[in-house]
Structure 1
Amino acid sequence: MTSDCCCTWFTNICWSFLLLLGVLCCTDSSVREGTAQVKERSLDRQTELNQVVFVIQSQRSAHHTRWAEQHRQDLLHQATSLHQDPPVVLLLHNLSDYEGNWSILPIMPYLSATFGKNCSWIFFIEEVTVVKIPRLLQVLSHFDAGKEWFLGSPLHDDESTIIHHYAFFDDPSSFKYPDFAAGWGLSCPLLNRLAERVNSESPKSDFTIDLKHEIALYIWHEGRGSTLTPVPEFCAEVLESGVSDHCATVVDKLPTCGEPVKQEEIFVAVKTCTKFHTDRVPVVKQTWARDAAFLEYYSDSTDPSIPTIDLGVPNTERGHCGKTFAILKHFFSNDIPECQWLVIVDDDTLISLPRLRRLLSCYNPKEPVCLGERYGYGLIQNGYSYITGGGGMVLSRAAVRRILSGGCRCYSDDAPDDMVLGMCLSSLRVHITHSPLFHQARPDDYPKKFLAREKHISFHKHWNVDPVDVYKRWLMDTVEEGREAVNRPGQIKEEL
């Protein structure tokens, strides 16, 4: 072997060794970083039940109150079976008279002041969350409760979405936020720090649109706070699907309450305008309109081919408050059958009326029921909740009567109708009832994992989708599916 060959061979060996050393160093560094969290989880400090405060994200309507109370009793019964003192189980709607507590941040100071020094964990659950207490305590024992932890079952966006203001548009899946239905937890040190922020800082956004995403953003604090730690034992699978024994939580199906309300009890009002008579209205007729016994199209012009009704309110590019209040008044006219429910939708709303009829079996139309997807405005500072209009606003006859008799009105025809109604209902102390089955946006705007769990009632917008395909895929039932939903085991029967 020549000297040149020897030098080349030796040089290659040296470079190979240095490269291997670098890879090993980098790998060792990443392993150390990657296992740090695992080591935190492996800490075994037995969590006692009296160290956990449960908060059920409950609502004020009779149906939801009974449902939340059933879950509270289940937790207390489990504690008795384990021969432990009963845990603190709070119903969110009972913490104060303030309607905006559902947005979580307003109650942080109260939770911190009341439990922050004596608890280890605040564990939030929804009305559909089923908790296995022994397994939950095992899971929580893996985390050092003296540190800041934000625990949950992770969701992420598949694409940037308007409901999240296109956050993380360059990599939407990088940001994780909790699936509330699977339960989510805060260690008390994190709770206390969040409470201090709520007391000392003004919110950066006045709107509450998708609470689970906004809570995660607030806790993340633009990289200065905590990110969500995924907990595989917080399971988003439905209870009846045969979930694994490793789960500390599972998700129950939304209950039905007996036979669906009759078609003739629902009146549907579709808001449209002249420029959409040949575009959006045909989609309504091709998809869900056939399931309505009573439906009318309200426009700024009369078109006998549809037909449309002109209520004398000029079209506006946004807001539509004048048109909506005209519909409310028209609902009580002699021109309309005396229906128990009024459903107001946009002409680009896609809705399943059979599923809505099943849902409405849980509510009493003789009470002021206002049902849909709940948004909020200024909730940290004594704001109000409202039903976002695109997903559909469902009002009982008693609620419409209360609105009209309460003196509510539009400050202009183009004011945002859903928000004006929200302000009105807040002033009248009529509560908004939220359903996770109504949606202001398209299916593409929500995580697939979130959508897979239930059969949804509405979506909104035709942008960049085939609305007929969306309806067929997401909203149209077969006869068998409808029968199965009505006869689902474990129904909650409400006496009206």
Structure 2
Amino acid sequence: MFLMTSRMNLEKDGISRKSDLDLKGIVFVIQSQSNSFHAKRAEQLKQSILKEAANLTQELPRVLLLHQLSKQEGAWTILPLLPHFSVTYSRNSSWIFFCEEETRIQIPELLETLRRYDPSKEWFLGKALHDEESTIIHHYAFSENPTIFKYPDFAAGWALSMPLVNKLTKRLRSESLKSDFTIDLKHEIALYIWDKGEGPPLTPVPEFCTDAGNSHCATMFHSFLPLCGNPVKKEDIFFAVKTCKKFHGDRIPIVKQTWAGQARLIEYYSDRAESSIPTVDLGIPNTDRGHCGKTFAILERFLNHSHDKIAWLVIVDDDTLIRDPVGWRDSQDMRPSTAIVASPLTLAPAFVFFQWHSLKEDMACTSSCLRDLMVFSRAAIRRLLASKCRCYSNDAPDDMVLGMCFGGLGIPVTHSPLFHQARPVDYPRDYLSHQVPISFHKHWNIDPVKVYFTWLAPSEEDKARQETQKGFKEEL
């Protein structure tokens, strides 16, 4: 009797264990990037999915790479692509399943999981995350009880039923997206789908996992730092710390107490030269926001005054904490002396997506440079400065200006979720648990030295992980 009642409740909620679903009913979308290393990793995952599927059926699923679906840089925000999914796949497909390039999928388990949900209904499925306290990166949403709103962990994979895709497509066609920038995509997609209670909330799916140790999982996620090459040498990285006079006394000592000791080449740039630090006065007055003038002055100084053999420039705020630079790795596909010359690289968190509307055209531009931590190859800086693309004022937002400049040059900006624009307390613990973070930002209401030694300082575990990685054989 209990089993019958449970089954009736499941069917009432649209969940059925008898849904007829095969692989051709699932469209796999890998949230890939155009950078050659990441594109290669995504292609490897695609081939892995197809290979496993071929062992199960003769009709293979469609596996798409996000960066190949549109020439618009804004495609990474996913919502603009939903009309394409609706028009192209709604007739023959039941689900759009999204995942990251390092997500591992067990196809039979994924099929069994999705079969529990009636594909004729609107479903938004994923591994649920929630804020433990209201946070600035989510504009303090649900401040009275931030735990009530759930959003997906992209690393575990997430899925939209086709009826929901079609509904969202109609909405996108009838009203433009209200926000012209993106800070945390997974949270903002969940907000858009929920639509103030008019749309479905995220349904937590226990089989969507980031813990590789659970046998019930349909998806898993590798938490290693990418094993993409040899460690970058200390003498190949130049660190430029942005500061100003009012922070010389409290922030600079923390930089020196924490990560600065691991840097071979480092300078502090301020609005006043102070020999005791020492700081370099760039001749740019301090601004309360934007900092574009200072950032471009640092780029020009690096290109014109630093040794030509220094491959990488890291621009970092004085209240940013970063992982030991010795652990950073240099990919064969991202090496600045080879492929990077042809395809220069900037590396930073995807932060802003905005549109510049003119009378003649709409130009979508992705700015993935965050002011608290930006990493550039020398080749990227050389092309940027040769282009004459510059700040329109000293206090212009440097992330937006740089994004527009690099976008105009066709230089891809690579996103790393391991760079964080806020403090550890601003992220769900479950989200950070499968990461090896590279940076955190801000000293508000925390002990920054403790944060550094808890999350970022070299440890015996880090050393053991590096040794493990040396012998780690990729499964793909």
Q: Does TM, normalized by the shorter one, top 0.5? A: yes
Equivalent position of 2:218 in the other structure: 248
Alignment partner of 1:136 is 2:107? no
- 1:432-443 alignment runs, 5 A limit: 432-443=413-424
Alignment partner of 1:396 is 2:377? yes
Q: 1:100 is aligned with what amino acid? A: G
Equivalent position of 1:5 in the other structure: none
Which of 126, 144, 153 in structure 1 is aligned with 2:127? 153
Q: 1:201 is aligned with what amino acid? A: E
CA shift for structure 1 position 406 = 1.2
Instruction: Output one character per residue of 1:118-153: Cα deviation in whole Å (capped at 9) or x when no partner.
Output: 210000011111111111111111111011000000
Q: 2:442 is aligned with what amino acid? A: K
Which of 309, 312, 318 in structure 2 is aligned with 1:338? 309
CA distance in 1, matches of 2:333, 2:261: 24
Q: 2:247 is aligned with what amino acid? A: F
- Any idea what SS the aligned residue of 1:328 has? helix
Contact in 1 for aligned 2:15/2:117 (Cα 8 Å): yes
Contact in 2 for aligned 1:46/1:138 (Cα 8 Å): no
Contact in 2 for aligned 1:273/1:298 (Cα 8 Å): yes
CA shift for structure 1 position 255 = 2.5
Alignment partner of 1:297 is 2:268? yes
- 1:96-135 alignment runs, 5 A limit: 96-135=70-109
Contact in 1 for aligned 2:16/2:117 (Cα 8 Å): yes
Equivalent position of 1:65 in the other structure: 39
Alignment partner of 1:223 is 2:197? yes
Instruction: Output one character per residue of 1:354-401: Cα deviation in whole Å (capped at 9) or x when no partner.
Output: 365236676222411111111122269743222343441000111111
Contact in 2 for aligned 1:57/1:93 (Cα 8 Å): yes
CA distance in 1, matches of 2:312, 2:331: 9
Equivalent position of 1:370 in the other structure: 346
Shift in CA distance, 379/57, structure 1 to aligned 2, threshold 3 Å: farther
Shift in CA distance, 342/183, structure 1 to aligned 2, threshold 3 Å: same
CA distance in 1, matches of 2:238, 2:436: 22
Contact in 2 for aligned 1:153/1:178 (Cα 8 Å): yes
CA distance in 1, matches of 2:12, 2:428: 27
Q: 1:115 is aligned with what amino acid? A: Y
Shift in CA distance, 442/37, structure 1 to aligned 2, threshold 3 Å: farther
Q: 1:110 is aligned with what amino acid? A: H
CA distance in 1, matches of 2:103, 2:61: 17
Equivalent position of 1:465 in the other structure: 446
CA shift for structure 1 position 176 = 0.2
Which of 65, 84, 102 in structure 2 is aligned with 1:91? 65
Contact in 1 for aligned 2:32/2:101 (Cα 8 Å): yes
Aligned residues with identical type, % of pairs: 55
Equivalent position of 1:19 in the other structure: none
Structure with max Cα Rg: 1
Equivalent position of 1:478 in the other structure: 459
**Structure 2: unaligned runs, 5 residues or longer:** 357-361
Shift in CA distance, 39/97, structure 1 to aligned 2, threshold 3 Å: closer
CA distance in 2, matches of 1:232, 1:430: 39
Shift in CA distance, 159/360, structure 1 to aligned 2, threshold 3 Å: farther
Shift in CA distance, 284/251, structure 1 to aligned 2, threshold 3 Å: same
CA shift for structure 1 position 487 = 4.0
CA distance in 1, matches of 2:20, 2:276: 71
- Which segment is superposed worse, 37-46 or 183-192? 37-46
CA shift for structure 1 position 42 = 3.2
Equivalent position of 2:277 in the other structure: 306
CA distance in 2, matches of 1:401, 1:306: 29
Which of 249, 255, 272 in structure 2 is aligned with 1:284? 255
- Any idea what SS the aligned residue of 2:15 has? helix
CA shift for structure 1 position 243 = 2.3
TM-score, length-scaled by structure 1: 0.88
Contact in 1 for aligned 2:312/2:376 (Cα 8 Å): yes
Equivalent position of 2:49 in the other structure: 75
CA distance in 2, matches of 1:403, 1:477: 34
Which of 274, 281, 287 in structure 2 is aligned with 1:316? 287
Q: 1:57 is aligned with what amino acid? A: Q
Contact in 2 for aligned 1:301/1:308 (Cα 8 Å): yes
- Any idea what SS the aligned residue of 1:235 has? coil
Shift in CA distance, 93/390, structure 1 to aligned 2, threshold 3 Å: same
Equivalent position of 1:260 in the other structure: 231
CA distance in 2, matches of 1:231, 1:297: 47
Shift in CA distance, 402/193, structure 1 to aligned 2, threshold 3 Å: same
Instruction: Output one character per residue of 1:301-334: Cα deviation in whole Å (capped at 9) or x when no partner.
Output: 1000000001111111111111100000001123
Q: 1:249 is aligned with what amino acid? A: T
CA distance in 2, matches of 1:252, 1:37: 35
Contact in 2 for aligned 1:80/1:86 (Cα 8 Å): yes
Alignment partner of 1:409 is 2:380? no
Which structure has greater helix proportion? 1
Shift in CA distance, 258/336, structure 1 to aligned 2, threshold 3 Å: closer
CA shift for structure 1 position 188 = 0.3
Instruction: Output one character per residue of 1:202-253: Cα deviation in whole Å (capped at 9) or x when no partner.
Output: 222111010000000000001101110111011121x3xx322x11111123
Q: 1:442 is aligned with what amino acid? A: R
- Any idea what SS the aligned residue of 1:284 has? helix
CA distance in 1, matches of 2:171, 2:367: 26
CA shift for structure 1 position 338 = 3.2
CA distance in 2, matches of 1:364, 1:129: 25
Which of 274, 277, 282 in structure 1 is aligned with 2:245? 274
Contact in 1 for aligned 2:230/2:331 (Cα 8 Å): no
Equivalent position of 2:359 in the other structure: none
Shift in CA distance, 295/188, structure 1 to aligned 2, threshold 3 Å: same
